[in-house]
Structure 1
Amino acid sequence: MSMSATLALQIVVMFMLVGVGFVMFRAGKITMEGNRTIGNILVYLSLPCVIVKGLMVERTAENAIGLAISAVAGLLALIVSAIVARLILKKDAIGNFAATFSNPSFFGIPLVISILGQGPVFYMTGFIAFMNLGQWTYGVSLLTGEKGRVSVRGLVTSPFFVAMLIGLALFVFQPPLPGVVTSCLDYVSALNTPLAMFATGVYLAQSRLSDAIHRVGLYKVILARLVVSPVVSILLLGLLPAEFLDLKLAVLIAQACPVGLNVAVYAQLHDADYVYAVETIVASVLFSLVSIPLVVGLAQMVW
């Protein structure tokens, strides 16, 4: 089976999980308060465990170089996304946030595992770290219109930052961990994708697609997030040597993912257009069923 077909099947599985969340919410079995609890589990528990687990690899010169290159590539990919979003969305704050920041943590990681295995998740950690940093800084400035207001204390105590520090310490010092600890990490990390897809299903259940199809900004977000940014990234990543193929694919899939769930979280927190934010998530997830396999297929042809 081709890589694109494998990705498409994995995305179908994730859509089925979205459907579970949709049905559970409509049936009253998941409430809005329950969905907030799911969000807390994702942000404060499962995602940090995924990041830590992703960095638990053998410390070799090859891995150290790969981590450095993937971090730089991830940063450049995010800069590309921000520029593309600004050019296409202009002054649309929600649109810029949505088009700039993808969903590699909850959507990209299972896709990478499905075609490349657990190992290349290691190359996504830098992207995820810079993305969260960007959301806390550039993303918030978009929604509030206030530039430069960043809580350093809030940043360094955030779950993703702490997880990165723990993961890097494990990578550098290579301490032996008891089997019960690694097993616990495995179990908690496994919660990441199903819970995130349940939350997406709840967002879908709250949206009115009949109203969303008339919003022009939504199509611009999809164009920037799922088409233009990934295609530009294919060209940039193509500059890396062929031996970094797994690294390039991991970063590309992270870049090609639909809009991240945090656009709705931050929109609600800063009194921005929450409904529009939810619509960008739902629409981009739906279109990603087609766009991600096509982007990866294009990359295989170009590289």
Structure 2
Amino acid sequence: MLHYIFTIVNQIFIMFLLMLVGYILSKKNILTEEGTKQISTLLMMIVTPAVIIASYQREFEYKLAKMLLISFALGLIAYAVPIIIGSVLFKTDKTIDFQDKRMCLVFSNNGFMAIPLLQALLGSIGVFLGSAHIVLGNVFLWTYGAKTMGREKYQINLKTALINPGTLAMLGGLLVFISPVKLPNTLYQVFNYIGAINMPLAMMVLGAFLAKTDFISCFTDKSIYTISIYKLVLVPAVLMGVLHSISADQIVTATLLIGAAAPTGIVAPMFAQRFNTKYLYSTKVVTVTTLLCIMTMPVFLTIIEFFWK
């Protein structure tokens, strides 16, 4: 368990240093609220899709293709679980800012936090299969997430479900994977370079968000701890039970659980800002869940490694 804790702590330390940069830039008024909106749009529309497409630049293998399909199929369950839990716990007519709380449950930091753990536990195949959780997250972000935040202003239809950055990136990435002709090296490097700015920019935006709120309030609001427990303990525990009950593939299960057990993703406050809701609440949840996952993620990783056999 100790090597998991070291990996997690190292990632969190890097994240908070990047957040500090954004915090200072915001306090100095170098990074304004309009600037964070523009960066958030850049991340969601361009940078994250580039990460997805680049992740599929590898030779086609039938076994990997089959496991990837299973990952996508079970990945739907991985997102259905928090969506159902969120709809039960945070009802429209009873919960203040219910949509922000639902977003915090559903969307994880399944990139920067999960990928190093997938690499350590399962190697390159873990990172490849873990991309299914990331890709599906982007699809759900532009369907379920947009509907949740936009409510009656945003209607999901076949066009919006298929023509959005997440879905288009997924289709482009799959085409790259199954095709015998891969991206030219120059173009692949372009996608890599664009993708490389994903986490630094996201964390600086989060730091800028924190500069707009009382940092101490992140740790004095009891509701933040409640939703953090739901996100870090309840959701992955229920998902683990569901996947175990259907005898899901061990490796695929591990990749999905690591993604689901990760802290709330920066996309929650970014999307809240995009739809002009109270994004500062989501910002607090991201901060607290990122710190608390030091205690929760090693437990789930240990269960995966030693008991899921």
1:149 aligns with one of 134, 149, 155: 155
State yes or no: 1:240 paired with 2:248: yes
Confirm or deny that 1:289 pairs with 2:290: no
Residue 269 of structure 2: which of 264, 272, 286 is its match?
A: 264
Is 1:277 matched with 2:282?
yes
SS at match of 2:71: helix
> Structure 2 residue aligned with 1:191, among 182, 197, 209?
197
Alignment of 1:150-169 (within 5 A): 150-169=156-175
Give the alignment's Cα RMSD to 1 decimal.
2.7
In 2: Cα distance, 1:178 partner to 1:268 partner: 36
Give the aligned residue type for 2:297. I
Instruction: In structure 2, list runs of 5 or more residues that go unmatched.
Output: none
Q: Pick from 171, 183, 195: which aligns with 1:177?
A: 183
Could you tell me which residue of structure 2 aligns to residue 130 of structure 1?
136
Q: Distance in 1 between matches of 2:213 and 2:117?
A: 25
- Following superposition, the deviation at residue 71 of structure 1 comes to 0.7
Give the residue type in structure 2 aligned to 1:231.
A
Structure 1, residues 257-291: CA drift from partner, whole Å, max 9, x if none? Answer: 22223332333344433332332223222323333
Give distance in 1, aligned partners of 2:35 and 2:119.
28
Looking at structure 2, the residues matched to 145 and 138 of structure 1 have their Cα atoms a distance apart, in angstroms, of 10
Deviation at 1:69, TM superposition (A): 1.1
For the structure 1 residues 13 and 231, does the alpha-carbon distance in structure 2 shift closer, same or farther, using more than 3 Å as the test? same
Aligned to 1:89: 90
Q: How many residues align?
A: 300
Matching residue's letter, 1:282: T
Matched, 1:253 2:261: no
Aligned equivalents of 1:90, 1:193: Cα separation in 2 = 32
TM-score by length of 1: 0.86
SS of residue matched to 1:59 = coil
Name structure 1 gaps, 5 residues minimum.
none
Correspondence 1:3-82 to 2 at 5 A:
3-82=4-83
Tell me, yes or no, if the aligned pair for 2:203 and 2:266 is still in contact at 8 Å. no
Q: Contact 1:85/1:99 (CA < 8 Å) preserved in 2?
A: yes
Matched residue, 1:206? 212
Q: Residue by residue, what CA displacement relative to the aligned partner does 1:150-187 show, whole Å, maximum 9, x if unpaired?
A: 15434433222221111111111131433222222222
Question: Does the 8 Å CA contact 1:110/1:193 hold for their aligned counterparts?
Answer: no
Aligned counterparts of 2:37 and 2:114: Cα–Cα separation in 1: 22
Give the alignment's TM-score, normalised by structure 2. 0.84
Deviates more, 1:167-176 or 1:272-281: 272-281
After superposition, the C-alpha distances for 1:103-161 in whole angstroms (9 at most, x for unaligned) are 32454345534655554332233323332333333334434554992154344332222
Q: Kindly indicate whether the alpha-carbon contact (under 8 Å) linking 2:118 and 2:130 is maintained by their aligned counterparts in 1.
A: no
The aligned residue for residue 105 of structure 2 is 99
Distance 1:176 1:72 in 2: 25
CA contact under 8 A between 1:11 and 1:111: conserved in structure 2?
A: no
Partner AA of 1:299 in structure 2: I
Output the CA distance in 2 between the equivalents of 1:249 and 1:30.
Answer: 38
SS of the aligned residue for 2:29 comes to: coil
Question: Are 1:221 and 2:227 an aligned pair?
Answer: yes
* Cα distance in 2, alignment partners of residues 282 and 176 from structure 1: 39
CA distance in 2, matches of 1:173, 1:205: 46
Change (3 A) 1:149 1:169: same
